[in-house]
């Protein structure tokens, strides 16, 4: 990886969400981050991203520790996001003060109806973008709906944000210098209505606070980096170097999910597999059980 920091200051992290047991793809991702740090004499950190309170469970946090130990991975520090909600809230307040966040009262159903009714609904990397309904609400309307206790999320006003920051780029090991595309995620959520913090805001705040210099993660979140880079610029945070690695697919070419049967690290362990041998096989590009890289 093209290093822009002295190797011994290199810091990577693995940041799973405890919404199920880790699968072999998570293991491979964690190994890459671990090896990158260890080979440089740097630090490898663990972060438990448990802000999705309805889906995260404590036993899955224990499972993460157990699975990583089994693969032979040790971490220098662990951060638990649910213990840091005040920090994310402070970042949200900063966005509000900058005038780049607005409350959104739309339900998923409202958004789906609006998108269906529009002939030219803009689409981003993950499907239709938020149509911007609440962006144009007046300050009075916003204030009175909030005062009335109307449930709402907070969204980033991408156009206003980029007008403020000017054009931005981020650095990716494989894609090179990537210009921020405001249409990748559109006006993304920076505080969900049912979540104490959003993934996008928390990940940006924590990568900076933990001093992460190299973010190693799956290609499935590549598009999110457009949003992350924008948030970094707004909050005055450094931007790490990114490695978005290909995802692992099963024997039928299907992306692994936490519910994929037979490919969780726990199941492999219970089936008698040795964790360190598996780690060495993955390092050498030997993928067991018919799995492989998505774009190999």
Q: State the catalytic residues.
A: 258
48 vs 134, which CB is nearer to ligand GLU?
Answer: 48
75 contact partners, CB below 8 Å, separation of at least 6:
14, 44, 45, 46, 68
Count other C-beta atoms under 10 Å from residue 129's C-beta. 21
Strand order in the sheet with 11-14: 11-14, 43-48, 77-80
Count other C-beta atoms under 10 Å from residue 208's C-beta. 18
Least separation in angstroms between CB 207 and ligand GLU: 8
Longest dimension (CA), the chain: 63
Q: Is residue 50 part of the contact set for ligand GLU (CB under 6 A)?
A: no
Q: Which stretch binds ligand GLU (CB under 6 A): 14-22, 96-104, 131-139, 171-179?
A: 14-22
Among 23, 45, 49, 213, binds ligand GLU (CB under 6 A): 49
Alpha helices in the chain (DSSP H): 24-39, 58-71, 85-98, 108-117, 139-147, 158-165, 199-209, 224-235, 265-270, 275-283
184 in Cβ contact with 226 (< 8 Å): yes
Count other C-beta atoms under 10 Å from residue 12's C-beta. 28
Least separation in angstroms between CB 224 and ligand GLU: 7
76 vs 274, which CB is nearer to ligand GLU?
Answer: 76
17 vs 264, which CB is nearer to ligand GLU?
Answer: 17
Q: Which stretch binds ligand GLU (CB under 6 A): 11-19, 91-99, 249-257, 264-272?
A: 11-19
Residue 248 φ/ψ region, left for φ over 0, alpha for ψ in the -120 to 50 degree band, beta for the rest: beta
How many residues sit close enough to ligand GLU to count as binding (CB under 6 A)? Answer: 7
The burial of 175, by beta-carbon neighbours within 10 Å (0-12 exposed, 13-18 middle, 19 or more buried), is given as middle
Q: Which stretch binds ligand GLU (CB under 6 A): 13-21, 92-100, 125-133, 179-187?
A: 13-21
The CA-atom distances, in angstroms, between 37 and each of 24, 42, 66, 215, 240 are 20, 5, 21, 11, 14
Q: Is residue 221 part of the contact set for ligand GLU (CB under 6 A)?
A: yes
Q: Is residue 81 part of the contact set for ligand GLU (CB under 6 A)?
A: no
Q: Is residue 56 part of the contact set for ligand GLU (CB under 6 A)?
A: no
Q: Is residue 15 part of the contact set for ligand GLU (CB under 6 A)?
A: yes
84 vs 152, which CB is nearer to ligand GLU?
Answer: 84
Q: Is residue 17 part of the contact set for ligand GLU (CB under 6 A)?
A: yes
Half-sphere exposure of 66 (CA within 13 A, CB side): 17
Q: List the interface residues with ligand GLU, window 126-145 (CB under 6 A).
A: none
51 vs 153, which CB is nearer to ligand GLU?
Answer: 51
Q: Is residue 103 part of the contact set for ligand GLU (CB under 6 A)?
A: no
Give me the residues paired with residue 178 across strands. Answer: 170
Q: Is residue 16 part of the contact set for ligand GLU (CB under 6 A)?
A: yes
Among 23, 43, 200, 217, binds ligand GLU (CB under 6 A): 217
Contacting residues toward ligand GLU, per CB under 6 A: 15-17, 49, 203, 217, 221
């Amino acid at each position: 990886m093209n290093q822009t920091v002295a190797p011994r200051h290199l810091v990577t992290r693995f940041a799973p969400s405890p919404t199920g047991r880790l699968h072999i793809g998570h293991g491979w991702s964690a190994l890459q981050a671990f090896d990158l740090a260890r080979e440089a004499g740097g630090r490898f950190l663990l972060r438990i991203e448990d802000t999705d309170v309805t889906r995260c469970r404590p036993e899955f946090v224990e499972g993460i520790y157990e699975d990583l130990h089994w693969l032979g991975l040790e971490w220098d520090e662990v951060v638990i996001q649910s213990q840091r909600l005040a920090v994310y809230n402070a970042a949200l307040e900063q966005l509000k003060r900058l005038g780049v966040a607005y409350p959104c009262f739309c339900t998923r159903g409202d958004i789906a109806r609006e998108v269906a009714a529009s002939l030219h609904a803009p689409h981003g990397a993950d499907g239709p973008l938020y149509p911007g309904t609440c962006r144009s609400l007046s300050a009075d309307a916003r204030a009175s709906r909030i005062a009335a206790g109307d449930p709402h999320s907070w969204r980033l006003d991408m156009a206003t944000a980029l007008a403020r920051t000017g054009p931005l780029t981020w650095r990716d090991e494989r894609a090179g210098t990537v210009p921020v595309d405001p249409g990748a995620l559109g006006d993304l959520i920076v505080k969900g209505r049912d979540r104490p913090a959003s993934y996008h805001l928390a990940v940006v705040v924590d990568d900076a606070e933990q001093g992460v210099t190299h973010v190693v993660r799956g290609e499935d979140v590549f598009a999110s980096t457009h949003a992350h880079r924008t948030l970094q610029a707004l909050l005055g945070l450094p931007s790490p170097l990114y490695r978005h690695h290909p995802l692992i697919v099963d024997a039928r070419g299907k992306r692994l999910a936490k519910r994929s049967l037979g490919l969780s690290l726990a199941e492999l362990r219970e089936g008698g597999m040795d964790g360190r041998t598996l780690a060495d096989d993955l390092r050498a590009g030997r993928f067991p059980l018919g799995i492989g890289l998505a774009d190999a």
